[in-house]
């Protein structure tokens, strides 16, 4: 039974999501510990994937989009010779191929999958088609035609290669599907393949070294213990410059009023007074206007 926290929960908890559990179920479990608290997660992981799932509480939910915009890092294994309808081990086999690429061939093919590339998302994805999720249509065997889109892959490295499998590490931007990378790499190597195992090791500033297992009974049994492990709201905003305010300026901004600044640069800033995060604000031509106000 959860206790009632003495103060609202505001901040981030980095969860190490286990296999065969949806991201939504992780959030639901944490919500039960903190009834009445707003809780959201950053970047859905498939049930068969493990790893970093940042969960936002209270005022931190206002920063989710900024955390999701950061780079993500994955380790994953591709199994050659079987294409599956979901592009991972959960799906049914739809094609086989006896060809097995060696390490040299794999290394040579990776260059084409780095930088800004065009990628067609998997049929089993959450992208909407005619108002329906693509995976809903795919499960009903209805035709799914998804348009290619530009995604960013900063690093795609081969870590190990066996006869039937290869292990990779990839650092990529928002909207990149690892399952699609595996599918397309296999095609480029004149075979087929699917993701056999997948672990996310980082989302923006959140790293697996900070992640807490759902089996950690010292943290995930009541809200007071959980509160002690929360990272601050601004943990998701590490790459956004700070703007120092006076107490009077902070009050005006907090109430939705624009204030003048001598700052020469334009763009999004973290407006602060002392250690208090007041707002995400936009600086434009010497004026600071609030974008997201925090009640901290």
pLDDT in tens, 58-70: 999 999 998 888 8
Residues facing 51 on adjacent strands: 17, 200
The DSSP line for 51-109 is EEEEEEEGGGGGGHHHHHTS-EEEEEEEEETEEETTSBTTS-EEEE------HHHHHHH
Residues facing 231 on adjacent strands: 12
Domain end marker among 146, 178, 203: 203
Considering the domain architecture, whether residues 33 and 83 belong to the same structural domain is answered as no
Q: What whole-number distance in Å separates Cα of residue 281 and Cα of residue 71? A: 22
Domain end marker among 185, 203, 221: 203
H helices of 90-246, where? 103-110, 134-139, 178-188, 223-228
Q: Considering the entire predicted model, what is its pTM?
A: 0.88
Domain ranges, residue 171: 72-203
Catalytic residue among 16, 46, 123, 210: 46
Give the total number of structural domains in the chain: 3
CATH number at residue 105: 3.30.2350.10
Q: What whole-number distance in Å separates Cα of residue 269 and Cα of residue 277? A: 11
Is 46 noted as a catalytic residue in this protein?
yes
* pLDDT given for residue 98 in this prediction: 97
Considering the domain architecture, whether residues 167 and 191 belong to the same structural domain is answered as yes
Considering the domain architecture, whether residues 64 and 111 belong to the same structural domain is answered as no
Q: What whole-number distance in Å separates Cα of residue 284 and Cα of residue 266? A: 5
Considering the domain architecture, whether residues 172 and 246 belong to the same structural domain is answered as no
In a domain? residue 115:
yes
* Averaged pLDDT, 25-51: 87
Q: How far apart, in Å, do the first and last CA atoms of the chain sit?
A: 27
In a domain? residue 6:
no
In a domain? residue 5:
no
- How sure is the predictor about 29, in pLDDT bands with cuts at 50, 70 and 90? confident
Considering the domain architecture, whether residues 24 and 169 belong to the same structural domain is answered as no
Q: What whole-number distance in Å separates Cα of residue 22 and Cα of residue 88? A: 15
pLDDT for 210-265, tens place per residue? 899 877 655 666 667 777 888 999 999 988 998 889 999 999 999 989 998 877 67
Considering the domain architecture, whether residues 212 and 267 belong to the same structural domain is answered as no
User: Angle CA(138)–CA(101)–CA(186) in degrees, nearest 5?
Assistant: 20
| pLDDT over 60 at 4, yes or no | no
């Amino acid at each position: 039974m959860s206790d009632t926290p003495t103060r609202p929960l505001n901040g981030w908890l980095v969860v190490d999501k286990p296999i065969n559990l949806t991201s939504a179920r992780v959030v639901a479990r944490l919500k039960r510990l903190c009834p009445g608290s707003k809780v959201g997660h950053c970047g859905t992981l498939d049930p068969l994937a493990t790893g970093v799932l940042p969960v936002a509480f209270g005022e931190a939910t206002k920063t989710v989009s900024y955390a999701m915009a950061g780079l993500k890092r994955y380790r994953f294994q591709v199994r050659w010779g079987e294409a599956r309808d979901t592009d991972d081990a959960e799906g049914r086999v739809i094609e086989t191929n006896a060809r097995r690429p060696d390490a040299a061939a794999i290394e040579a093919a990776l260059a084409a999958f780095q930088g800004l590339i065009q990628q067609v998302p998997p049929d089993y994805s959450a992208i909407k088609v005619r108002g329906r999720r693509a995976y809903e249509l795919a499960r009903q065997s209805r035709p799914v035609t998804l348009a290619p889109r530009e995604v960013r892959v900063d690093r795609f490295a081969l870590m190990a290669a066996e006869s039937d499998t290869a292990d990779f590490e990839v650092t990529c931007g928002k909207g990149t599907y690892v399952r699609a990378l595996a599918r397309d790499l296999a095609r480029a190597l004149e075979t087929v393949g699917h993701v056999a195992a997948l672990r996310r090791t980082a989302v923006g500033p959140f790293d697996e070294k900070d992640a807490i297992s759902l089996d950690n009974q010292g943290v995930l049994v009541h809200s007071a213990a959980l509160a002690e492990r929360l990272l601050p709201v601004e943990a998701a905003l590490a790459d956004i410059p700070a703007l120092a305010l006076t107490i009077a300026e902070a009050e005006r901004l907090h109430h939705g009023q624009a204030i003048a600044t001598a700052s020469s640069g334009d763009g999004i800033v973290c407006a602060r007074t002392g250690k208090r995060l007041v707002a995400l604000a936009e600086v434009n031509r010497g004026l600071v206007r609030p974008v997201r106000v925090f009640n901290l």
